[in-house]
Structure 1
Amino acid sequence: MRELVRTNDMVLVSAIGALLDGANIHHLVLDQNMSIIEGSLGILPRRILVHEDDAQEARELLTEAGLSHELRGDD
């Protein structure tokens, strides 16, 4: 799995999830439970991960959607 985005913005997490779902790219949102435990203060970011094989397509999708500034470095 490769980390695509890390953010505290739940609206952005939802929007990216919808984009990935629409493109049939399986993804995971990690750290949601930790964020709930911390009281939804927005301190702990959520991480969106995609399978290694889908990483390039997912990055292109988010770039086309104008979200390239949200992408994590291409390790």
Structure 2
Amino acid sequence: MVEIVRSSDLVLIGFLQSLLENANIPVLVADMHISALEGMTGAFPRRILVPDDHVAQARRLIREAGLDAELRHV
């Protein structure tokens, strides 16, 4: 799994999860529980991870949605 986005913005995370799942890209939203436990102060942002073989497609979809600034550049 490769992290492609890290954010404390719940709306953004939900949108990206939906966008990728609708394109049949498996998505794991990591750190959901710790983020909720710490009171959403932003200390533990949520992370979107996709399988290695879907990274290029996921990045392309996010760019096409106009959200390329949200992509992790690792």
Deviations 1:7-28 (A, max 9, x none): 0000000000110011000010
TM-score by length of 1: 0.93
| Matches of 2:18 and 2:27, distance apart in 1 | 10
Q: Which runs of no fewer than 5 residues in structure 2 stay unpaired?
A: none
Conserved? CA contact 2:20–2:26, under 8 Å: yes
Conserved? CA contact 2:7–2:47, under 8 Å: yes
Aligned-residue Cα RMSD (Å) equals 0.9
1:46 partnered with 2:46: yes
Q: Which runs of no fewer than 5 residues in structure 1 stay unpaired?
A: none
Q: Percent identity?
A: 49
- Give the corresponding residue for 2:17: 17
Deviations 1:35-58 (A, max 9, x none): 111022333100000000000000
TM-score by length of 2: 0.94
Letter in 1 for 2:40: S
Give the 4+ runs in structure 1 shifted more than 3 A.
Answer: none
| Matches of 2:40 and 2:4, distance apart in 1 | 22
